[in-house]
Structure 1
């Protein structure tokens, strides 16, 4: 008897069919770069792609982008929205692993980060949320700069993305508000292949109201309720930082993009009597023992290396806790103890329900012929199941007032429009975690997440070797609130799946560990046993008026010539998927940089 492939193993096998081909104009050797540029951008990911585009708009400004991973162009795996779930663990992922997590019963889990042009926007699950108005106003308070409040930020949201029709071209005006969208290069759409459960989810929300009320567009600023997922998909293909911002400007003569290259450290170019360090030179290497090459940024180095890479490079360069760095033999350049601290992420749990329907996509993952037909339709028409990420509908909720989760603590959400938890509805058995897809049966998965976690972890280097992975400790379920909020999310999933429409059509019943978790205590045990992460890390180079790592203009404190522009600057974790926020801060950062250097 043959062994049935699981959700991920089956897809991973298919990915081998589509090898990477470098087709675009990029540099592959450190010997091809010049010794000096106006700007050196460390990281060609979500933020780095935006900065490369905006700063090179003026042909008199020279820009170098240094990307540790490879080119995205020619890799069809990155283009197919549905296959985003299979990209972690491949050659476009850094393949990080966390420390053992006490809140996860001592389990270490994979920690996916994009290792390719476009960064994590090239491998994520595409959700596009600009965040509630509250989160931006909270950032303004923390940074002491009203330039970060929603009224000021809105123009950058509008500049970064635009709403496009779903792949099937149907009229979706009752499920999205075009007034809440802009005119930028990132393409955003609602699902282009409606699934059988979509109408049940949305109609149930309209009928139930209350905590489960329908929300016609989360990007209107209110993040409470249930509605269609909006994703970075245009014409059935992924829209990433690379495809929208970077690839279209490869031909600019003032822009160089160097791939497969690490920045090993930043070099202080300040000379006495200047007492302020100037970290505006980068050291490059393409292998641990390979030659080093130095490049000067006459204006700025911009760290856009991500939530893991940015604190790692800062620490390797002597920026961080001086005592920790001294123990590793790294001279202190700037004593900033919060470098690598404040790591926050959203824990995720798969709740499975067996359903009385053969309309789910479970057999697509069990049957190679069906999978091939589905893939063929995408290749020929950019239509069908693969034009979407697996989850078409989503809900965000506050825990009820008086919940034991909030006992004795201040509400961790950013305000009245900001949730504590999230549910994503998936029309099949989605393997997030260790439970494999059953060989038979049909399922609906409800993914539950805590989006206002109070747990905080860290990213710390363990040696002076720039090719050694840092120690990543997200500290999942490190607080009582996070555990109890996840229990509430589990209860919400069970309650919502008991709605009349579900029972009339799909008749879902809890499956596996969920079925045996009858009490809140048992559900907490279930969460600790099976939860993973949703790969939304932020905060390791925190922006703050007091303390922190960067100021309100994203300049690293205590040094000259260095700025950070990526999700590491988030002062608190947003109660949504963070991709859109990174585009927004990068757009604003580009204007801040141009203003300082008087670039038109």
Structure 2
């Protein structure tokens, strides 16, 4: 596919639909509205187009994108459980959102994740309900099966030539009794396997590339980049417009059919609160007039804690990076009594340690790493605005490690990774422990985790779907109490699924479009 250019069009006074945010969810909504109706659609994106940018396109160059030009630059607030450290949260500020800066991992999680959503009050969101939407989004290298889709917008491939440290992770898992499986997006996800990656022909395959590029020149689509949404217009209980700033000027554009918020789990609740939708006490503190009291806005924040990382000395140079710098994954259980895997790990062809670990340990020379984390974390946090001004400060607190069970599971994860590196499968590469520099006691592992705890940047849950008093959207993703306003991003997840969030957010966007079009 040739590299396109986003057409510069004058912004009309009104559109049928306005989609705010062009990340994984917003791209899917925009594409399906264009394909499935004769509606006019305006997409408002705060970041640039990001098309033809080598560091975005190159799968091996993704790590520096966090904290760079295409990142919002958000941080988690310090917490005593992580030794008072500030943890950065990479969030994509560009067409494609975080799918344009992430590690390109494509996972749905466990079937029971979505069955749990339905059991908790999200009617129609069981795995059997969402599987068709996962499949519809996919162009899987193996073709269509009962579990996988083909011909969809997002290309998904596995490494054609795994790096040896990634292959060692798979083989070493077998030595430890962890199953080796072909596809973690198949009927079972427990085990070690080659990673599913949004990579094609050696390039990143983001949501922008998959969903938007084919429709960029559609006359009914207008994409407005470098435009910051700062408010919603509410009239007679209905969302009818979006206010935004572009090139320093304030503008307002109307929506005749509906507004879709897809700004992500931080900026969707921010925009709602700036528009007078949220906890009345919080809005009063901010000096914002209340349009609608919804106490759940900004609450229920969830993210997967990541131990970043266990670092090992390499007995020889690793050579050029392959794939996304990883290439394999493990999903396994911290306890045999669990019904589904709760732990996740991946290899890194180099040093991926948190800044504090780099301060504490000598990581010079040739090293490789293994990141491990908890995908069934139970600690829950919040986000709150410290200012209602556009771009104002936020307090974002995931409460990592607040629950003892989370810490206990992560101890198992670190112990397993230390054992894994010492298996026969790593014999050609393992040159000793670097960080930790030796096998540790449980108490020492806990200290290490507190210094190494980081984020998968899977922030979610802040406008959750459900029926209880803290629910923000109903099971058709409509903001409760306001007509014409839908949310299609990770904020609607009632419980974070046991996976990277790009795939489930894409599925949410696919479903949101069907709800709007009356197709579901």
Give TM class, smaller chain: over 0.9
Selected match of 1:185 from 133, 153, 160: 153
- For 2:501 and 2:187, how far apart are their aligned partners in 1? 14
Question: 1:179 offset after TM fit, Å?
Answer: 5.4
Structure 1, gaps ≥5 residues long: 1-21, 166-175, 271-276, 365-384, 403-410
Is the Cα contact below 8 Å between 2:356 and 2:451 reproduced in 1?
no
How is 1:356-395 mapped onto 2 (pairs within 5 angstroms)?
Answer: 357-361=315-319, 385-386=321-322, 388-395=323-330
Structure 2 residue corresponding to 1:164, chosen from 130, 133, 141: 141
Paired position in structure 2 for 1:149:
126
Matched with 2:282 is 324
Bigger shift: residues 57-66 or 295-304: 57-66
Task: Give 1:505 shift.
Answer: 2.5
Do the aligned partners of 1:343 and 1:537 also contact (CA within 8 Å) in 2? yes
Mapping for residues 70-469 of structure 1, pairs under 5 Å: 70-145=48-123, 147-164=124-141, 180-183=147-150, 184-209=152-177, 212-270=178-236, 277-286=237-246, 290-355=248-313, 357-361=315-319, 385-386=321-322, 388-401=323-336, 416=339, 418-436=340-358, 440-469=364-393
Q: Deviations over 1:518-545 (max 9, x none)?
A: 2111110111112211111110110012
Pairwise CA RMSD of aligned residues?
2.2
**1:197 and 1:179 mapped to 2: Cα distance?**
32
1:25 equivalenced with 2:3 (yes/no): no
Secondary structure at the aligned position of 1:60 is classed as coil
Give the deviation of 1:515 after TM superposition. Answer: 2.3
Shift of 1:578: 1.2
Matched, 1:565 2:500: no
1:501 aligns with 2:439: no
Contact kept, 8 Å, 1:542 with 1:549, in 2: the verdict is: yes
Name the counterpart of 2:468.
Answer: 546
Q: Distance in 2 between matches of 1:483 and 1:451?
A: 12
Q: Is the 8 A contact 2:382 2:398 kept in 1?
A: yes
Deviation at 1:154, TM superposition (A): 1.4
User: Larger Cα Rg: Structure 1 or Structure 2?
Assistant: 1
Aligned length: 514
Which of the pair is proportionally richer in strand? 2
Task: Give the C-alpha shift of residue 400 in structure 1.
Answer: 1.8
Corresponding residue for residue 535 of structure 1:
457
State the Cα distance separating 1:262 from its structure 2 match.
1.1
CA 1:206–1:558: 2 relative to 1, 3 Å: same
Distance, in Å, in 2 between the alignment partners of 1:394 and 1:66 is 35
Unaligned segments of structure 2, at least 5 residues: none
Distance change >3 Å, CA 222–CA 252, structure 1 → 2: same
Structure that is richer in helix per residue: 1
Residue in structure 1 matched with residue 448 of structure 2 by the alignment = 526
Tell me the equivalent position of 1:370: none
With the length of structure 1 as denominator, give the TM-score of the two structures. Answer: 0.82
Kindly indicate whether the alpha-carbon contact (under 8 Å) linking 1:541 and 1:550 is maintained by their aligned counterparts in 2. yes
CA contact (8 A) 2:275 2:291 kept: yes
C-alpha contact 2:154 2:206 (8 A) present in aligned 1: yes
CA offsets per residue over residues 128-179 of structure 1, 9 Å max, x none? 001211111111222341x2111121111111012238xxxxxxxxxx9965
CA distance in 2, matches of 1:91, 1:101: 27
Cα distance change on mapping 1:152 and 1:100 into 2, 3 Å:
same
The SS at the match of 1:532 is strand
| Contact in 1 for aligned 2:229/2:244 (Cα 8 Å) | yes
SS in 2 for 1:524: helix
1:341–1:221 distance in 2 versus 1, CA, 3 Å: farther
Preserved contact between residue 555 and residue 563 of structure 1 (Cα < 8 Å): yes
Relative to structure 1, the CA distance from residue 307 to residue 249 in structure 2 (aligned partners, 3 Å threshold; closer, same or farther) is same
Equivalent residue, structure 2, for 1:17: none
Quote the Cα distance in structure 2 between the aligned partners of 1:254 and 1:348.
42
Distance 1:334-1:247 versus aligned 2 partners, 3 A rule: same
Deviations 1:362-400 (A, max 9, x none): xx5xxxxxxxxxxxxxxxxxxxx35x1111111112112
